[in-house]
Amino acid sequence: MRAFTFPAYKTPLLEVDAAEPTMGEHDVLVQVQAAGVNQLDEKIRIGEFKQILPYKLPLTLGHDVAGTVLRVGGAVRAFRPGDEVYARPRDHRIGTFAERIAIDEADVAPKPSSISMDEAGSLPLVALTAWQALVEIGQVQPGQKVLIHAGAGGVGSIAIQLAKHLGAEVATTASAANAEFVRGLGADHAIDYRADDFERLLSGYDFVLDSLGGENLEKSLRILKPGGIAVGISGPPTPDFARSAGLNPVLRLAIAGLSGKVRKQAKRLGVDYRFLFMRASGEQLREITALVERGAIKPIVGRVFPFDETVQALESLRGGGIRGKAVISNR
């Protein structure tokens, strides 16, 4: 089976002849027809998350998949061969940059019928991230003010649409060239991050989704009203995350130190900071499917690479400039 793996951290992605996936009783075997490319793939390759998400190497990358079920385990009842599905396989079972992958049925959902395989392959990780940030953590309500950073990117382009569906007033940061694009997604306010300082323009916000960290996160805390929430998806991780991830005491202590400054700042301002490392969920994907079918969420595919160009697809993340998601197509 053809697959794209890396043998050691910070080494290039390579095409290899990989073993066929091992099937469990609760697994579905999926023929990969489209796989989204995510910043998480590149961060894992360079070792950025090796302490909190240790993988045995070599590792096949890929966190998004859309495709067709080939076979199901003996305990699977919700799917059968021939079904078109999409998923974000759970951590330690990733590997969608391959021809086939076995996925726990709990992580899988029927593919939305109104969109293409490539569009479906772009959605799982970013849509689940947006859902878990805005719905689960933020509990965003109609009339609230929401700031989504990097609105033209993979997570941002979906989060804008979801926030608007939830009835929020939505601001976003983007380049001037992408201003009309993000307004078309539903943003009420598009702030040129190169020319303007969003902290000087915004105040009294209920929720911020931050994908950049650092100074950007610190500024985001200051535009929240008391009781507001900032969710960071780039870090720094928090002690709550470390506990839920079952990390050892030494790592917990280190993580507490990494996030100490931002947590103290949040407490001083009377706001809340949460770190989100999204998780797989077929149940939530079914909710997202319903929104896609109703037209509330539209996948944004900025570029499609053939399977043979998987290495180039991952490299494209470093240059930026792709609206929405890059997708690898194997059809």
| C-alpha closest to that of 233 among 134, 91, 87, 106 | 134
Torsion angle in degrees (nearest 10) through CA of 273, 292, 110, 138: 10
The superfamily CATH assigns to domain 126-275 is NAD(P)-binding Rossmann-like Domain (3.40.50.720)
pLDDT score of 280:
98
pLDDT score of 217:
97
Sign of torsion, CA 247 252 256 259?
negative
Side chain identity, residue 199: E
Residue 205 and residue 222 in contact, taking contact as beta carbons nearer than 8 Å: no
pLDDT score of 247:
85
| C-alpha closest to that of 177 among 192, 188, 187 | 192
Beta strands, E only, the chain: 2-6, 14-17, 27-37, 59-60, 65-72, 84-87, 100-104, 108-110, 145-148, 169-174, 189-192, 205-210, 224-232, 272-275, 301-306, 325-329
Residue with tokens 């609760």: 26
pLDDT score of 246:
85
Share of the chain above pLDDT 70, in %: 100
pLDDT band of residue 325 (cuts 50, 70, 90) is: very high
**pLDDT higher at 258 or 150:** 150
- Residue 43 tokens, joined: 């961060």
Angstrom distances, CA of residue 89 to CA of 14, 107, 128, 146: 21, 6, 12, 29
pLDDT score of 235:
82
pLDDT score of 255:
87
Architecture of the structural domain at 2-123+299-329: Alpha-Beta Complex (3.90)
Every domain range in the chain assigned CATH 3.40.50.720? 126-275
Share of the chain above pLDDT 90, in %: 89
Every domain range in the chain assigned CATH 3.90.180.10? 2-123+299-329
Instruction: Give residue-wise pLDDT tens across range 244-293.
Output: 888 888 888 988 888 899 999 999 999 999 999 999 999 999 999 999 99
| Rounded Cα gap, residues 225 and 255, in angstroms | 26
Instruction: Give residue-wise pLDDT tens across range 44-80.
Output: 999 998 888 889 999 999 999 999 999 999 999 999 9
Q: Is 242 a residue whose pLDDT tops 90?
A: no
